[in-house]
Structure 1
Amino acid sequence: MTEAGEPAAPPVLSITGAALHRDGHELWAGLDLDVRPGEFIAVLGPSGSGKTTLLRSILGLQPLSAGTVQIDGLPVQRGNPRIGYVPQQRTLAPDTSLRARDLVALGVRGIRFGLPIPHRGDRTRVDALLEGVGASHYADRPVGLLSGGEQQRLRVGQALAADPKLLLCDEPLSNLDLANQRGVTEIIDRRRRAHGTAVLFVTHDINPILDRVDRILYIAGGRFLLGTPDEVLQTEVLSALYGTPVYVFRTGGRLVVVGIPDADTQHEHHDEAPTTGGIA
């Protein structure tokens, strides 16, 4: 029940009894997770722990070894318009000739079946998305001449084109400076607050999003923890998860985690990035 006494909204994402194996190695098992409208969940863990693979399963790109995933009470499927996907920032080649608005338009037209023929209202929709991510002033510039942060704003615009109920973010702040990290994070947070969009945010650094996160899913060594930041980000808790001393320090308003074992010593594998339409 909510504080007002009304029933809680049904989950946008529901994962039940999920398990994932790769090359005979169990990445994790027994995962139950309900994500409700407007909730911001960070997914943490070392490389190869299965974070990106979890996103692939939600996108319908890779089956689980066990368990189920549902979006709005329905089984997952490829190309689900209820889901938006923001990939890692990868700088586009300088000679890429498409304009910023053209790339966002691919997201708008890509949600329809058949050939990407422009429809009446597409330009208005594209303009609104560009404004929403702070990209209106460079809408007609070639994307190859834009900075990494400017390009990443366009990726967020693409992800929001279908007005998704769930936004999957796979290391969206990688390779961005602090100013652009704050800018992209603010766009995503503003979206979820204004529209109730649930966010699943994979990251290696919790600090840029720490004050916005509701819960953390921490995956490591074939196990996982789920709880609030204060419950999960503790020396004793992470040490128990890894089975070795891990220390959490708070300094200058930031968290520093020291002592995480090298993923290679745990026989883990690197995740593969999901492949979807839009900027890659």
Structure 2
Amino acid sequence: MTSVDRSDDVLAGQPVLRLTDATLAYGSRTLWSHLDLKVASGEFIAVIGANGSGKTSLLKVILGQQQLTHGSVEFLGGPVSRGNRRIGYIPQQKLADDGTPLRARDLVGLGLTGHRFGIPWPSARRRRQVDELLSDVGASGFGDVSISNLSGGEQQRLRVGQALAGDPALLLCDEPLLSLDLNYQRAVSELIDRQRRERDLGVLFVTHDINPVLGMVDRVLYLAGGRFRIGTPDEVLQSPVLSELYGSPVDVFRSQGRVVVVGTPEAHDPHDAHAHPDAGPSLA
């Protein structure tokens, strides 16, 4: 992979992403308020919290799909906008329908040309770019295979490649491990972590379960009840902090390198498109 010089993007001390006094509300319900968040180049931040706490809504704000109620959000020193190719996005894992007439390399190639109108003309340069992306995400061996014949973990590798195609400075991951088995959770997590280190990417990783990425995370943003806490995993994921955040007793247990949070009140917000009504609040 070719190294990326980001000296023009991120000046010394300037974050990739900055939210200042940010508040997001739907009617009388405030998802979070007075949020100050800076994401540095190369930093991995996990975003966690109960259903409806505003995790996916935060990503929508950064993608320019949702306006803040109050405050500001900046990306690379300027305002956010829809379709900014320097922001990569990895969605939840969703299996392709049987018979989908799309090869693995075609899916990754959409990251290069999917924002343009019409069918892209084949070219040696575009094929080389796709081959490099397939190699970067460990998918060279099935580049010409129909995506409907690939496993969920293999398809998610391709979505990582697609998200990297725009040479992003920031990678937004919206529950990318959902429905994957433990082996693929580990593989996809390690893939994202390796790419952020090699490309010096800022990463916001929304997840219900922090354990697959616990050893990779620099900081945790925990959203709950219109409030938030941010810090290292050891600073945030402890009983006194979460009990204060929720306003009720919350227990945090650690066992064999895993974290289990018990006792968090469950919420559901219809505006949070990826809230999972059947998911419990535990991070185990």
Match of 2:150 in 1: 146
Match of 1:224 in 2: 228
1:111-190 residue pairs with structure 2 within 5 A? 111=115, 113-118=116-121, 119-190=123-194
1:234-249 residue pairs with structure 2 within 5 A? 234-249=238-253
Question: 1:269 and 1:260 mapped to 2: Cα distance?
Answer: 19
Question: 2:106 and 2:17 mapped to 1: Cα distance?
Answer: 31
Give structure 1 stretches of 5+ with no counterpart.
1-6, 274-280
Match of 2:86 in 1: 82
1:1-280 residue pairs with structure 2 within 5 A? 8-111=12-115, 113-118=116-121, 119-264=123-268, 268-269=269-270, 271-273=272-274
C-alpha deviation, 1:122, in angstroms: 0.5
Question: 2:172 and 2:131 mapped to 1: Cα distance?
Answer: 23
Question: 2:117 and 2:145 mapped to 1: Cα distance?
Answer: 28
The answer (yes or no) to whether the contact 1:47–1:269 under 8 Å persists in 2 is no
Q: TM-score, normalised by structure 1?
A: 0.91
C-alpha deviation, 1:120, in angstroms: 4.1
Q: Percent identity?
A: 59
- The worse-fitting range, judged by mean Cα deviation, of 253-262 and 29-38 is 253-262
Question: 1:270 and 1:108 mapped to 2: Cα distance?
Answer: 30
Give the number of aligned pairs: 263
C-alpha deviation, 1:270, in angstroms: 5.3
The answer (yes or no) to whether the contact 1:12–1:165 under 8 Å persists in 2 is yes
C-alpha deviation, 1:163, in angstroms: 1.1
Question: 2:117 and 2:78 mapped to 1: Cα distance?
Answer: 24
C-alpha deviation, 1:259, in angstroms: 0.8
Code of the residue aligned with 2:45 in structure 1: it is I
Code of the residue aligned with 1:166 in structure 2: it is L
Question: 1:206 and 1:177 mapped to 2: Cα distance?
Answer: 15
Question: 1:10 and 1:63 mapped to 2: Cα distance?
Answer: 23
- The worse-fitting range, judged by mean Cα deviation, of 25-34 and 8-17 is 8-17
C-alpha deviation, 1:253, in angstroms: 1.4
Question: 2:198 and 2:226 mapped to 1: Cα distance?
Answer: 36
Give structure 2 stretches of 5+ with no counterpart.
1-10, 275-284
C-alpha deviation, 1:258, in angstroms: 0.8
Question: 2:253 and 2:119 mapped to 1: Cα distance?
Answer: 51
Question: 1:183 and 1:106 mapped to 2: Cα distance?
Answer: 23
Q: TM-score, normalised by structure 2?
A: 0.89
Code of the residue aligned with 1:157 in structure 2: it is G
